Structure 1
Amino acid sequence: MKKLRKTKMVNQYCLLADEKGRVTDLQGSELETQAIKPQLLDKVIWLVTPQRCLFKQLEYDTEYVSASEIEECVRSDIEQWTIWADTAMFHLSQKVGQHWKVAVWIWDERKENELLNGFKPTHIIPHSAYVASSIDADELMITQVFGQEWLIVKDAGNLVHGVHSADSQLAQHQLERRYERQIERKDHLFKFQYEGSWLPDAKPLEFAPKAQIVHQGKQKGVVDFTEVQTYIKPIAALGLALVIWMLGDYFILNANLNEAQDKTVSLSSQSMDAMTKRNEFKFIATKLTTLNSYLDRQQQPMEVLANLTDLLPHDVYLNAMEVNNNTINLTGQGSNVARLPALLEQWELVESAMFTSDIRQVGDSGETFRLQLVLKGVTH
């Protein structure tokens, strides 16, 4: 049994289990999960072996599926081909031309929970996705997991294209024919934790998993203190508190200085002067707010209309448009309006686009719709 030794400030444990529940690290050394006591910054990554995963690469048209809708589409597809009642999922997506390519791994969540036996990792990632992040586009990797050989292939877009069992000569021969072009390029062939004789030209892999893959497998409720994003909100809050504190000191000092300068003035004169200045300030601030609001109301709808005129298809027209602080509500009619969210998200000012009501067919004249655009970084 391997003894765990902590030699770094931030430790990363990678665990995987065979079908009998024997837990090992990536090098194959057997471990006891009870011996793993991670500290605040440590990562404990549970790797789901290829033997217990199903892999598929899916494709969606960007005209009909926006970035925010990919996960929903993937889950809908999984329901059609999963073989398990409780299915867990891991996916990676990439935009290629006018399509989304999505690499999807699924596994039996109930079975994996049995193998975990109450152990709570910080991340759960398919083994093949984790190790494949160390190779680049159009490359292949041979690996061995609990005695079984696997070939992992990436496409030209650096997305996993295939995870294949290669535990027989027939399977190896079929894979050699299928990926003949890539295998012939010997500089594109690597091996990791593999000592077999198949594909002898494979070079040892320089193992360096990508942080993006690790982040994608983070479990709900886990705070990763080694990620920059974790500190953005707390640092912003501290910065705001510091600004308020400095402004408070400034106003206190300024008030004391004014008090010293105005010692010869009676208390009533000071009060009247302060009240007058306060009222003047309020009056000016109100005028500026009113003016800004008026300018926004005059300019924003015209700019929005100009952009929408260029973006909307010729067979779609608007009946109404409502412009708020950070949203635009559109009501209109046209043909094939389901494509509009993905189309409007191409506008550089739009964060997301979604329908706020069902699409309705209106006779032969087309479909009616209500759609809301959320603008990027708009504040007033």
Structure 2
Amino acid sequence: MLDAKPAPTASGNLFGWVHKNLLATPKDIVLTVLAIAILVMIVPPAANWLFFQASWLGSDRSVCSTLVQGGIQPDGWKGACWAFVQDRFVQFMFGRYPLDERWRPILVTIMFIALLTPLLIPKVPRKGLNALLLFIVFPIVAFFLLHGGFGLRVVETPLWGGLMVTLILSFVGIAVSFPLGTLLALGRRSKMPVIKTLCVTFIEVIRGVPLITVLFMANVMLPLFLPTGWTIDNFLRALVAVALFASAYMAEVIRGGLQAIPKGQSEGAESLGLSYWQKMRLIILPQAIKLVIPGIVNTFIGLFKDTSLVSIIGMFDLLNIIRLNFIDTTWITPVTPITGLIFAGFIYWLFCFSMSRYSAFMERHLDTAHQR
């Protein structure tokens, strides 16, 4: 065998890449020029408004508003009002959580990152213990840290808000919907009529209504079915509603993966004497879940964004706590709403993009079927 030769000069450097990917055909040239023209028209003004002429520091609207004591500033309004975000940043993160107790959600965040990071790295050992600590032990410890008890001051859930509520709803929804959705998918494919009917009914009913309806039912209708004197915290109602709603969609994603597994895999497992649960746990589910990673992550991303709908039951997540501050007379300006919404959009995009990138990483890591 001859040794591999280096790439041709025309395609092995920057100019070769540009020619191959951007200027290969007349159509590519036209599209490249058009794209560059659009970027030149959009990017400089946007960057100028967002960064260079923005107001970064200040304690009230005077640094951002065009009106100062009834008159117009000589140089007029310039750019985004990031001073508003900087001044209310802590509230955006924790809502109305007491100032002297905010070390508790900060500690919970540190614990969450410390447990989640090794779970996401494939080479880190003891994944079972890590998962046990993250999904069983951590929620219990986090509840008592955030809510109080055992000597800690009780902080009622109506005082929770901001990004903290968004992350709690997302984490609980993801942690519950994945195993519950898997059981629903297996139940829907079951040969036992009662179990199959119950799973199909649950999935179709939940998928047939919007999340707002589920939240409204959990908040308004659920107390009517409880015994006299019983009550359930509004935040817990939201957690249950979001988890059940996501489970129905997750079940269909998992079912799609189960249907993609050849029947020979199941027959081969049965020929080895494996029981139903051994077959599913060791043979079928690992292959099915690997096939539907994009769909699973897509459901998680949708769940993360749908948490903003909890405002219907009086909870203020990141988006709603930002919108609540738009009516604060200290920061009422023409640019305060758009600046706050851009900040909220960036936070949502950051988390969703991170989940998307990790999904792509796991797909490459687990794609061993075609590797030599």
Which band: TM-score by shorter chain? Answer: under 0.3
Q: Which has the higher contact order (CA 8 A, sep 6+)?
A: 2
- Structure (1 or 2) with the greater helix fraction: 2
Larger Rg: 1
- Structure (1 or 2) with the greater strand fraction: 1
**Normalization by structure 1: what TM-score?**
0.23
